[in-house]
Structure 1
Amino acid sequence: MRRLILFRHGKSDWDADFRSDHERPLNGRGARSARLMGKLMARTGELPTLVVASTAVRATTTAELAIKAGNWDVEFHQDHALYAASPSSMLEYIRQLPDQHGSIMLVGHEPVWSGLVSAFTGANARVPTAAMVGMRFSAARWVDVRFDGGELLWLLKPRLFEYFPL
Protein backbone atom coordinates (compact mmCIF):
# COMPACT_ATOMS: atom_id res chain seq x y z
CA MET A 1 0.00 0.00 0.00
CA ARG A 2 1.35 3.44 -1.00
CA ARG A 3 0.07 6.78 0.24
CA LEU A 4 0.70 10.04 -1.61
CA ILE A 5 -0.08 13.50 -0.29
CA LEU A 6 -0.04 16.43 -2.68
CA PHE A 7 0.41 19.79 -0.95
CA ARG A 8 -0.03 22.91 -3.05
CA HIS A 9 2.12 25.87 -2.08
CA GLY A 10 0.55 28.69 -0.10
CA LYS A 11 -0.72 31.92 -1.61
CA SER A 12 2.13 33.84 -3.20
CA ASP A 13 3.02 37.51 -3.10
CA TRP A 14 2.62 39.01 -6.56
CA ASP A 15 3.63 42.44 -5.21
CA ALA A 16 7.00 41.27 -3.86
CA ASP A 17 10.26 42.04 -5.59
CA PHE A 18 11.20 38.90 -7.55
CA ARG A 19 13.04 38.41 -10.81
CA SER A 20 11.35 35.23 -12.00
CA ASP A 21 8.30 33.12 -11.26
CA HIS A 22 10.60 30.60 -9.58
CA GLU A 23 11.61 33.25 -7.02
CA ARG A 24 8.09 34.43 -6.13
CA PRO A 25 7.65 34.23 -2.32
CA LEU A 26 4.64 33.53 -0.12
CA ASN A 27 2.48 36.36 1.14
CA GLY A 28 1.39 36.59 4.79
CA ARG A 29 -1.74 34.52 4.26
CA GLY A 30 0.27 31.86 2.43
CA ALA A 31 2.72 31.58 5.32
CA ARG A 32 -0.10 31.37 7.90
CA SER A 33 -1.86 28.68 5.85
CA ALA A 34 1.35 26.64 5.52
CA ARG A 35 1.83 26.70 9.30
CA LEU A 36 -1.82 25.81 9.90
CA MET A 37 -1.64 22.83 7.54
CA GLY A 38 1.57 21.68 9.19
CA LYS A 39 -0.11 21.66 12.60
CA LEU A 40 -3.20 19.98 11.17
CA MET A 41 -1.17 17.15 9.62
CA ALA A 42 0.71 16.66 12.89
CA ARG A 43 -2.60 16.27 14.73
CA THR A 44 -3.74 13.53 12.34
CA GLY A 45 -0.81 11.27 13.21
CA GLU A 46 -0.59 10.38 9.52
CA LEU A 47 2.61 12.19 8.61
CA PRO A 48 4.60 11.13 5.59
CA THR A 49 8.16 9.91 6.09
CA LEU A 50 9.46 11.84 3.07
CA VAL A 51 8.60 15.35 1.87
CA VAL A 52 9.85 16.56 -1.52
CA ALA A 53 9.23 20.18 -2.51
CA SER A 54 9.57 22.02 -5.77
CA THR A 55 12.61 24.31 -5.77
CA ALA A 56 10.33 27.33 -6.34
CA VAL A 57 10.65 29.64 -3.33
CA ARG A 58 6.93 29.56 -2.55
CA ALA A 59 6.82 25.73 -2.53
CA THR A 60 10.00 25.25 -0.51
CA THR A 61 8.90 27.86 2.03
CA THR A 62 5.47 26.23 2.32
CA ALA A 63 7.07 22.86 3.09
CA GLU A 64 9.58 24.31 5.55
CA LEU A 65 6.92 26.29 7.45
CA ALA A 66 4.58 23.28 7.66
CA ILE A 67 7.34 20.96 8.85
CA LYS A 68 8.49 23.41 11.51
CA ALA A 69 4.98 24.36 12.73
CA GLY A 70 3.93 20.73 13.02
CA ASN A 71 7.28 19.57 14.38
CA TRP A 72 7.34 16.79 11.80
CA ASP A 73 10.11 14.21 11.97
CA VAL A 74 10.50 13.67 8.23
CA GLU A 75 13.17 13.48 5.57
CA PHE A 76 13.03 16.64 3.43
CA HIS A 77 14.37 17.27 -0.07
CA GLN A 78 13.89 19.76 -2.87
CA ASP A 79 13.70 18.78 -6.52
CA HIS A 80 13.46 21.03 -9.56
CA ALA A 81 11.50 18.28 -11.36
CA LEU A 82 8.38 19.34 -9.43
CA TYR A 83 8.52 22.84 -10.92
CA ALA A 84 6.87 23.26 -14.33
CA ALA A 85 5.96 19.57 -14.38
CA SER A 86 3.08 17.83 -16.12
CA PRO A 87 0.87 14.98 -14.88
CA SER A 88 2.75 12.49 -17.08
CA SER A 89 6.19 13.68 -15.96
CA MET A 90 4.99 13.51 -12.34
CA LEU A 91 3.77 9.93 -12.83
CA GLU A 92 7.27 8.98 -13.99
CA TYR A 93 8.76 10.88 -11.05
CA ILE A 94 6.46 9.11 -8.57
CA ARG A 95 7.36 5.72 -10.06
CA GLN A 96 11.00 6.40 -9.13
CA LEU A 97 10.34 7.29 -5.48
CA PRO A 98 12.16 5.15 -2.89
CA ASP A 99 10.10 2.17 -1.73
CA GLN A 100 11.28 2.45 1.88
CA HIS A 101 8.90 5.42 2.12
CA GLY A 102 5.32 4.13 1.99
CA SER A 103 3.88 7.60 2.60
CA ILE A 104 5.27 10.58 0.70
CA MET A 105 4.28 14.23 0.38
CA LEU A 106 5.04 16.26 -2.74
CA VAL A 107 4.81 20.05 -2.48
CA GLY A 108 4.15 21.74 -5.79
CA HIS A 109 1.92 23.65 -8.12
CA GLU A 110 -1.27 23.98 -10.09
CA PRO A 111 -2.60 22.99 -12.52
CA VAL A 112 -0.52 19.81 -12.17
CA TRP A 113 -1.84 18.81 -8.73
CA SER A 114 -5.49 18.96 -9.83
CA GLY A 115 -4.56 17.09 -13.00
CA LEU A 116 -2.86 14.36 -10.98
CA VAL A 117 -5.82 13.95 -8.64
CA SER A 118 -8.08 13.54 -11.66
CA ALA A 119 -5.71 11.15 -13.45
CA PHE A 120 -5.13 9.00 -10.35
CA THR A 121 -8.65 8.90 -8.91
CA GLY A 122 -11.09 10.14 -11.54
CA ALA A 123 -12.22 12.87 -9.13
CA ASN A 124 -12.73 16.33 -10.54
CA ALA A 125 -11.07 18.13 -7.62
CA ARG A 126 -9.52 21.59 -7.75
CA VAL A 127 -6.57 22.00 -5.37
CA PRO A 128 -6.55 25.56 -3.98
CA THR A 129 -3.51 27.22 -2.44
CA ALA A 130 -2.13 25.50 0.68
CA ALA A 131 -4.55 22.57 0.30
CA MET A 132 -3.52 18.96 0.76
CA VAL A 133 -4.89 15.92 -1.04
CA GLY A 134 -4.44 12.41 0.32
CA MET A 135 -4.56 9.42 -2.00
CA ARG A 136 -3.94 5.71 -1.52
CA PHE A 137 -2.69 3.14 -4.01
CA SER A 138 -2.85 -0.63 -3.64
CA ALA A 139 0.58 -0.87 -5.28
CA ALA A 140 3.32 -2.63 -3.31
CA ARG A 141 6.01 -0.44 -4.90
CA TRP A 142 6.03 3.10 -6.27
CA VAL A 143 6.98 1.79 -9.72
CA ASP A 144 3.59 0.04 -9.83
CA VAL A 145 1.56 3.24 -9.32
CA ARG A 146 -0.52 4.10 -12.38
CA PHE A 147 -3.18 6.53 -13.51
CA ASP A 148 -6.68 5.37 -12.52
CA GLY A 149 -5.07 3.32 -9.74
CA GLY A 150 -5.60 5.65 -6.80
CA GLU A 151 -8.29 6.25 -4.23
CA LEU A 152 -9.03 9.79 -3.07
CA LEU A 153 -8.97 9.80 0.74
CA TRP A 154 -9.38 13.49 1.52
CA LEU A 155 -8.96 17.07 0.36
CA LEU A 156 -8.13 19.51 3.17
CA LYS A 157 -8.38 23.24 2.55
CA PRO A 158 -6.85 25.67 5.05
CA ARG A 159 -9.91 27.93 5.05
CA LEU A 160 -11.90 25.10 6.64
CA PHE A 161 -9.61 25.12 9.68
CA GLU A 162 -8.40 28.68 10.15
CA TYR A 163 -10.89 29.42 12.92
CA PHE A 164 -10.18 26.27 14.93
CA PRO A 165 -7.29 26.33 17.40
CA LEU A 166 -4.75 23.61 16.69
Structure 2
Amino acid sequence: MRRLILLRHAKSDRPAGVRDLERPLNKRGKRAAPVVGERIAAEGLRPDLALVSPAQRTRETWAAVKGALGDPREETVPEIYEAAAEDVLAAIRAAPDEAGTLIVVGHNPGLGDLAVMLAGQGPRGLRALLASEFPTAAFAVIDFEAETWAGVAPNRGRLEHFVRPRDIDPALAG
Protein backbone atom coordinates (compact mmCIF):
# COMPACT_ATOMS: atom_id res chain seq x y z
CA MET A 1 0.00 0.00 0.00
CA ARG A 2 1.08 3.57 -0.71
CA ARG A 3 -0.16 6.55 1.29
CA LEU A 4 0.00 10.01 -0.24
CA ILE A 5 -0.49 13.23 1.70
CA LEU A 6 -1.04 16.33 -0.42
CA LEU A 7 -0.49 19.53 1.57
CA ARG A 8 -1.10 22.95 0.07
CA HIS A 9 1.15 25.68 1.44
CA ALA A 10 -0.30 27.92 4.14
CA LYS A 11 -1.62 31.40 3.36
CA SER A 12 1.09 33.60 1.90
CA ASP A 13 1.75 37.29 1.70
CA ARG A 14 2.13 39.30 -1.53
CA PRO A 15 4.68 42.01 -0.71
CA ALA A 16 5.32 44.55 -3.45
CA GLY A 17 8.46 43.90 -5.44
CA VAL A 18 8.89 40.31 -4.19
CA ARG A 19 9.08 37.59 -6.82
CA ASP A 20 6.43 34.86 -6.61
CA LEU A 21 9.05 32.24 -5.71
CA GLU A 22 10.10 34.33 -2.68
CA ARG A 23 6.66 35.14 -1.24
CA PRO A 24 6.60 34.36 2.51
CA LEU A 25 3.74 33.18 4.69
CA ASN A 26 1.50 35.85 6.16
CA LYS A 27 0.41 35.97 9.82
CA ARG A 28 -2.53 33.62 9.27
CA GLY A 29 -0.32 31.16 7.40
CA LYS A 30 2.24 31.19 10.21
CA ARG A 31 -0.56 30.41 12.70
CA ALA A 32 -2.17 27.70 10.57
CA ALA A 33 0.86 25.66 9.48
CA PRO A 34 1.90 24.27 12.89
CA VAL A 35 -1.74 23.56 13.79
CA VAL A 36 -2.12 21.57 10.57
CA GLY A 37 1.11 19.70 11.33
CA GLU A 38 -0.24 18.74 14.75
CA ARG A 39 -3.47 17.51 13.14
CA ILE A 40 -1.60 15.40 10.59
CA ALA A 41 0.39 13.84 13.44
CA ALA A 42 -2.77 13.31 15.54
CA GLU A 43 -4.23 11.32 12.63
CA GLY A 44 -1.21 9.00 12.90
CA LEU A 45 0.15 10.11 9.55
CA ARG A 46 3.94 9.87 9.52
CA PRO A 47 5.51 10.45 6.11
CA ASP A 48 8.78 8.75 5.24
CA LEU A 49 9.65 11.40 2.68
CA ALA A 50 8.56 14.95 1.85
CA LEU A 51 8.67 16.39 -1.66
CA VAL A 52 8.67 20.17 -1.25
CA SER A 53 8.38 22.91 -3.83
CA PRO A 54 11.29 25.37 -3.73
CA ALA A 55 8.97 28.36 -3.14
CA GLN A 56 9.52 30.27 0.10
CA ARG A 57 5.88 29.74 1.19
CA THR A 58 6.08 25.95 0.76
CA ARG A 59 9.42 25.74 2.55
CA GLU A 60 8.06 27.83 5.45
CA THR A 61 4.94 25.67 5.61
CA TRP A 62 7.01 22.49 5.68
CA ALA A 63 9.36 23.90 8.35
CA ALA A 64 6.33 24.57 10.58
CA VAL A 65 4.78 21.14 9.94
CA LYS A 66 7.68 18.69 9.91
CA GLY A 67 8.60 18.76 13.59
CA ALA A 68 5.22 17.29 14.53
CA LEU A 69 5.80 14.49 12.00
CA GLY A 70 9.09 13.19 13.31
CA ASP A 71 11.19 15.34 10.94
CA PRO A 72 11.12 12.98 7.92
CA ARG A 73 13.61 13.08 5.07
CA GLU A 74 12.88 15.81 2.54
CA GLU A 75 13.73 16.71 -1.01
CA THR A 76 13.25 20.04 -2.74
CA VAL A 77 11.64 19.31 -6.10
CA PRO A 78 11.68 22.27 -8.52
CA GLU A 79 9.31 20.45 -10.90
CA ILE A 80 6.39 20.82 -8.47
CA TYR A 81 6.64 24.61 -8.19
CA GLU A 82 3.39 25.99 -9.64
CA ALA A 83 3.06 22.69 -11.54
CA ALA A 84 0.09 21.14 -13.29
CA ALA A 85 -1.41 17.99 -11.78
CA GLU A 86 0.35 15.76 -14.31
CA ASP A 87 3.76 17.21 -13.42
CA VAL A 88 3.19 16.68 -9.69
CA LEU A 89 2.09 13.12 -10.45
CA ALA A 90 5.32 12.54 -12.39
CA ALA A 91 7.33 13.62 -9.33
CA ILE A 92 5.30 11.25 -7.13
CA ARG A 93 5.82 8.35 -9.53
CA ALA A 94 9.57 8.97 -9.38
CA ALA A 95 9.67 8.80 -5.56
CA PRO A 96 11.73 5.99 -4.02
CA ASP A 97 9.65 2.93 -3.23
CA GLU A 98 11.13 2.50 0.24
CA ALA A 99 9.02 5.54 1.20
CA GLY A 100 5.63 3.98 1.93
CA THR A 101 4.10 7.31 2.96
CA LEU A 102 4.87 10.42 0.95
CA ILE A 103 3.90 14.03 1.62
CA VAL A 104 3.93 16.59 -1.18
CA VAL A 105 3.97 20.27 -0.19
CA GLY A 106 2.90 22.34 -3.16
CA HIS A 107 0.54 24.76 -4.84
CA ASN A 108 -2.86 25.13 -6.39
CA PRO A 109 -4.38 24.63 -8.83
CA GLY A 110 -2.13 21.64 -9.59
CA LEU A 111 -2.29 20.05 -6.14
CA GLY A 112 -6.07 20.31 -5.84
CA ASP A 113 -6.54 19.07 -9.40
CA LEU A 114 -4.26 16.12 -8.66
CA ALA A 115 -6.18 15.20 -5.50
CA VAL A 116 -9.45 15.11 -7.44
CA MET A 117 -7.82 13.18 -10.28
CA LEU A 118 -6.41 10.50 -7.98
CA ALA A 119 -9.30 10.05 -5.51
CA GLY A 120 -11.65 7.74 -7.38
CA GLN A 121 -12.90 6.12 -4.17
CA GLY A 122 -13.79 7.24 -0.68
CA PRO A 123 -16.74 8.92 0.97
CA ARG A 124 -18.79 10.70 -1.68
CA GLY A 125 -19.37 13.81 0.44
CA LEU A 126 -15.68 14.13 1.21
CA ARG A 127 -14.76 13.77 -2.48
CA ALA A 128 -17.37 16.41 -3.37
CA LEU A 129 -15.88 18.79 -0.81
CA LEU A 130 -12.40 18.12 -2.18
CA ALA A 131 -13.63 18.87 -5.71
CA SER A 132 -15.14 22.17 -4.57
CA GLU A 133 -12.06 23.63 -2.90
CA PHE A 134 -8.49 22.99 -1.75
CA PRO A 135 -7.74 26.03 0.41
CA THR A 136 -4.35 27.07 1.76
CA ALA A 137 -2.96 24.75 4.45
CA ALA A 138 -5.51 22.04 3.61
CA PHE A 139 -4.37 18.45 3.26
CA ALA A 140 -5.74 15.34 1.58
CA VAL A 141 -4.73 11.76 2.34
CA ILE A 142 -5.14 9.26 -0.48
CA ASP A 143 -4.30 5.54 -0.19
CA PHE A 144 -3.37 3.31 -3.11
CA GLU A 145 -3.20 -0.44 -3.49
CA ALA A 146 0.06 -0.11 -5.40
CA GLU A 147 3.38 -1.88 -4.93
CA THR A 148 5.37 1.09 -6.20
CA TRP A 149 4.91 4.83 -6.59
CA ALA A 150 5.10 4.30 -10.35
CA GLY A 151 1.83 2.36 -9.98
CA VAL A 152 -0.11 5.37 -8.68
CA ALA A 153 -2.74 6.25 -11.27
CA PRO A 154 -5.80 8.48 -11.73
CA ASN A 155 -9.02 7.28 -10.06
CA ARG A 156 -7.15 4.44 -8.32
CA GLY A 157 -6.82 6.08 -4.91
CA ARG A 158 -9.12 6.11 -1.91
CA LEU A 159 -9.60 9.48 -0.22
CA GLU A 160 -9.20 8.85 3.51
CA HIS A 161 -9.00 12.41 4.85
CA PHE A 162 -9.53 15.92 3.61
CA VAL A 163 -8.95 18.55 6.27
CA ARG A 164 -9.09 22.31 5.92
CA PRO A 165 -7.61 24.61 8.59
CA ARG A 166 -11.11 25.84 9.54
CA ASP A 167 -12.08 22.22 10.26
CA ILE A 168 -9.42 22.22 12.98
CA ASP A 169 -9.99 25.73 14.32
CA PRO A 170 -12.68 28.10 12.96
CA ALA A 171 -10.36 31.03 13.77
CA LEU A 172 -8.12 29.81 10.94
CA ALA A 173 -10.87 30.32 8.34
CA GLY A 174 -10.31 32.98 5.84
Same fold flag (TM > 0.5): yes
Number of the residue aligned with 1:156: 163
The aligned length equals: 162
Unaligned 5+ runs, structure 2: 121-126
Helix, strand or coil at the partner of 1:118: helix
Q: Does 1:30 align with 2:32?
A: no
Q: Matched residues in 1 for 2:27 and 2:113: separation?
A: 27
Number of the residue aligned with 1:53: 52
Number of the residue aligned with 1:89: 87
Number of the residue aligned with 2:76: 78
1:111 deviates by 0.5
Larger relative helix fraction? 2
Number of the residue aligned with 1:128: 135
Helix, strand or coil at the partner of 1:135: strand
Q: Matched residues in 2 for 1:46 and 1:136: separation?
A: 12
Taking only aligned residues, the RMSD between alpha carbons, in angstroms, comes to 1.6
**Could you tell me whether the CA contact under 8 Å between 2:33 and 2:137 is conserved in 1?**
yes
Q: Matched residues in 1 for 2:76 and 2:134: separation?
A: 21
1:148 deviates by 1.2
Q: Matched residues in 2 for 1:100 and 1:71: separation?
A: 18
Q: Does 1:107 align with 2:102?
A: no
Helix, strand or coil at the partner of 2:39: helix
Number of the residue aligned with 1:12: 12
Q: Deviations over 1:95-143 (max 9, x none)?
A: 1110000100000000011111111114442211001100001011011
**Could you tell me whether the CA contact under 8 Å between 2:11 and 2:25 is conserved in 1?**
yes
Unaligned 5+ runs, structure 1: none
Query: CA distance change for structure 1 residues 163 and 111 in 2, over 3 Å: closer, same or farther?
Result: closer
Runs of 4+ in 1 over 6 A off after TM superposition: none
Q: Deviations over 1:65-104 (max 9, x none)?
A: 1113x15231122111110211111222111110000100
**Could you tell me whether the CA contact under 8 Å between 1:18 and 1:24 is conserved in 2?**
no
Residue type of the partner of 1:28? K
